[in-house]
Amino acid sequence: MSDQDRLIEHEYDGIQEFDNPMPRWWVTTFWGTIIFSGLYLLNVGPIGAGAGRIAQYEADMAAWREAHPTDQGTVDSEALLALAGDHEVLEEGKEIFARNCAACHGPDGGGVIGPNLTDNAWIHGGTIAEIHAVVSEGVLAKGMPAWGRQLTPAQVNAAVAYVWSLQGTTPANPKAAEGAVVAQ
Ligand code: HEC
């Protein structure tokens, strides 16, 4: 009991209460949140001078994109062909293929649900740029996913390089050729 304790006159069911001030930490926090909310409002748009959290988010994203450029826009056939001759890229492509493509195209590219990738017949064209386009954008109506949305550009390139390297190989259970024969 301190000097502050001042009994309030009312009494309910034999219970009485003191009229004590709130503890200092509580009052400080209380005023602190009020002051903070004022400063906060000043800083956020559209009420205050700040840009607002959506603009802040966009700015952060733009900065991130700037720091992480992608090479997706430029699909250069020569660069892809160079990748197809790069042993390390082919190794990576092989892993990507085993993980993402083998279920539909067979572990050796011989074809299951998806077409045979080892022959020289192509539904969507047999140049490396056309293969890149199919892998990147998919053929959604026919069940070929758009890998450009799920893999990084470098991974798509590696998968395409690997598909390119499969041509002329002999799969265990080749699916009959589909599409038009393309002379390489
Ligand atoms: C869910 C099944 C499925 C998966 C997984 C899949 N594909 Fe396909 N893919 C297909 C089907 C089905 C087609 C045939 C599309 C058509 O008939 O137009 C196809 C077509 C293709 C073609 C074009 C073939 C041609 O004859 O023009 C290429 C290249 C290809 N896929 C590569 C890949 C690669 C690389 C992956 C893995 C990153 C992959 N696919 C994963 C089902 C799949």
Q: Are residues 91 and 154 in the same domain?
A: yes
For the beta carbon of residue 140, count every other beta carbon within 10 angstroms.
Answer: 9
161 lines ligand 1 (CB under 6 A): no
pTM over 0.85: no
Contact 93, 84 (CB under 8 A): no
- Residue 157 token pair: 């390139």
pLDDT of residue 67: 80
Measured in Å, residue 135 CA sits from the centre of ligand 1 at 7
Is residue 46 reached through a cis peptide bond, with omega within 30 degrees of 0 on the bond before it? Answer: yes
Q: Are residues 107 and 160 in the same domain?
A: yes
114 lines ligand 1 (CB under 6 A): yes
pLDDT of residue 184: 59
Dist CA 114 CA 106 (whole Å): 8
pLDDT of residue 50: 76
Number of domains the chain is built from: 2
For residue 164, give its domain range.
77-181
pLDDT digit of tens for each residue in the chain (184 aa)? 455 678 888 899 999 998 888 899 999 999 999 999 988 888 777 777 777 778 889 999 999 888 876 555 557 889 999 999 999 999 999 999 999 999 999 999 999 999 999 999 999 999 999 999 999 999 999 999 999 989 998 999 999 999 999 999 999 999 999 998 887 5
Q: How many CA atoms lie within 13 A of 144 on its CB side?
A: 18
Dist CA 20 CA 176 (whole Å): 89
Q: Are residues 93 and 6 in the same domain?
A: no
Domain of 84, CATH number, reads 1.10.760.10
Q: Are residues 4 and 52 in the same domain?
A: yes
pLDDT of residue 122: 96
SS3 24: helix
Distances (CA, A) of 148 to 54, 79, 119, 132, 140: 27, 17, 24, 9, 12
Please identify, among 23, 44, 69, the residue that sits at the C-terminal boundary of a domain: 69
105 lines ligand 1 (CB under 6 A): yes
Ligand 1 atom closest to Cα of residue 159:
35
Residues 6+ apart with CB under 8 A from 137: 146, 148
Distances (CA, A) of 115 to 44, 104, 129, 155, 173: 55, 8, 18, 21, 12
